[in-house]
């Protein structure tokens, strides 16, 4: 695989320090670069006006400032903004900005971030998963999705919702876009540490959540980390036979391995994790399956997010009727499971779960790779 050109956003805080000292500059120059990149949201080195021109010129020769080019953008009826980005090697990824709330001043500006170009898990209901795995994103490519939407919010402040400047910033990050985050662990975690760092993007770890299809080694590793990021596990079935079909990685890490690791994660971290359960008409939406799910998570400090299936090219996986979904939810509640329906955003622009990049591939005539392959965990 070709080596990607180095960007400032690919560098950890201490690596920016090394860059500055290698240029014979004092460490406060590194702090200036970080402030311009992550807080002032500079697009070019020329904007870093408190750096001498000579330093700016040298920086532009040695590294790029950012790693992505935004090539296509569309807005949905609910305000969701979806953007397609091109990498240096012409790989493409999509991510989305979603708006939630307004209740009690708790408006959220949530960015849904991709961690891989394509995906190697191959879930049959997921249009992105059927595109095949292309490569892991670098930490800079992960970060630059966040910074793009941070600039978007700054330049298009949502004054109709709130005039509070807090609501012109990214408030939450979910690593739930294209790819399996835990299959790109090192680059993901480097991005999280930079986004959390006080002199970088300084977003609280508890405002970040990653979603996994159930990579057991990655969950074990995550349980040892100090930053308290959230964890969501995509379950979608409470028995191995069905989950093998819906989430193929289950064949490698079945429920009898996955659930104990999730319980151990909760015990070690003291954090309540979430289980995602997409409801598919006639597949996993029966009352009996709700009881199985309740039994699977019994005695577990967790939360179940129910999600109505989004429309993709596969017509087998459709959402159930509202009556069926409410019955499923009520059965879980009857068994004392903490459960809510997660509000779907951006469905009209294919920005929902499992839809990313599908519209672009269809419009351009590009075919999915159809080579699902799991990256290293």
Tokens 């289980």 correspond to 275
Centre a 10 Å sphere on the Cβ of residue 2 and count the other Cβ atoms it contains: 7
Buried b (16+ CB within 10 A) or exposed e, 222-250: bbeeeeebbbbbbbbbbeeebbbbbbbbb
Q: Judging by beta carbons within 10 Å of its beta carbon (0-12, 13-18, 19+), is residue 336 exposed, middle or buried?
A: exposed
Active site residue 94: yes
Q: Residue 168 in contact with residue 158, Cβ under 8 Å?
A: yes
Q: Could you please report the per-residue DSSP string of 145-184?
A: HHHHHHHHHHHT--TTT---GGGGS--EEEE-SSS-GGGG
> How many other CB atoms sit within 10 Å of the CB of residue 257?
13
From 25, 87, 94, 168, the catalytic residue? 94
In the structure, how many helices (H) and strands (E) does the chain have? 11, 12
Structure tokens at 30: 């590194």
Of these residues, 119, 123, 200, 353, which one is catalytic? Answer: 353
Q: Is 5 exposed, middle or buried (0-12, 13-18, 19+ CB in 10 A)?
A: middle
Q: What share of the chain is helix, strand, coil (3-state, %, to 5)?
A: 40, 20, 45
- Residue 170 in contact with residue 225, Cβ under 8 Å? no
295 catalytic per annotation: no
- Residues marked as catalytic: 94, 353
């Amino acid at each position: 695989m070709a080596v990607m050109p180095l960007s400032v956003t690919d560098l950890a805080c201490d690596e920016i320090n090394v860059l500055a000292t290698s240029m014979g500059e004092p460490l406060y120059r590194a702090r200036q670069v970080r402030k311009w990149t992550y807080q002032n949201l500079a697009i070019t080195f020329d904007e870093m006006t408190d750096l001498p021109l000579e330093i700016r010129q040298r920086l532009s020769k040695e590294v790029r400032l950012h790693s992505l080019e935004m090539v296509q953008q569309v807005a949905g009826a609910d305000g969701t903004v979806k953007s397609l980005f091109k990498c240096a090697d012409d790989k493409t990824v999509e991510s989305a900005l979603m708006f939630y709330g307004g209740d009690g001043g708790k408006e959220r500006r949530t960015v849904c971030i991709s961690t891989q170009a394509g995906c190697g898990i191959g879930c049959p209901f997921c249009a992105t998963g059927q595109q095949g795995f292309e490569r892991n994103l670098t930490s800079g490519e992960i970060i630059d999705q966040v910074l793009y939407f941070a600039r978007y919010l700054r330049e298009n402040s949502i004054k109709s919702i709130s005039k509070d400047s807090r609501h012109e910033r990214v408030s939450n990050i979910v690593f739930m876009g294209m790819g399996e985050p835990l299959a790109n662990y090192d680059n993901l975690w480097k991005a999280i540490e930079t986004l959390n760092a006080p002199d970088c993007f300084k977003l609280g770890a508890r405002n970040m959540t990653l979603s996994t299809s159930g990579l057991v080694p990655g969950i074990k590793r995550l349980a040892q980390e100090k930053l308290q990021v959230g964890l969501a596990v995509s379950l979608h079935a409470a028995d191995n036979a069905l989950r093998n079909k819906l989430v193929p990685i289950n064949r490698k890490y079945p429920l009898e391995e996955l659930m104990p690791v999730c319980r151990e994660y909760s015990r070690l971290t003291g954090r309540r994790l979430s289980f995602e359960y997409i409801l598919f008409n006639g597949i996993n939406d029966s009352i009996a399956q709700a009881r199985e799910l309740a039994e699977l998570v019994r005695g577990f400090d967790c939360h179940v997010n129910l999600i109505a299936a989004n429309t993709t090219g596969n017509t087998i996986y459709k959402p159930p009727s509202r009556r069926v979904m409410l019955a499923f939810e009520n059965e879980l509640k009857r068994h004392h499971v903490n459960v809510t329906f997660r509000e779907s955003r951006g469905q009209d622009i294919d920005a929902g779960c499992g839809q990313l990049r599908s519209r672009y591939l269809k419009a351009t005539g590009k075919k999915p790779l159809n080579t699902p392959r799991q990256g290293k965990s």
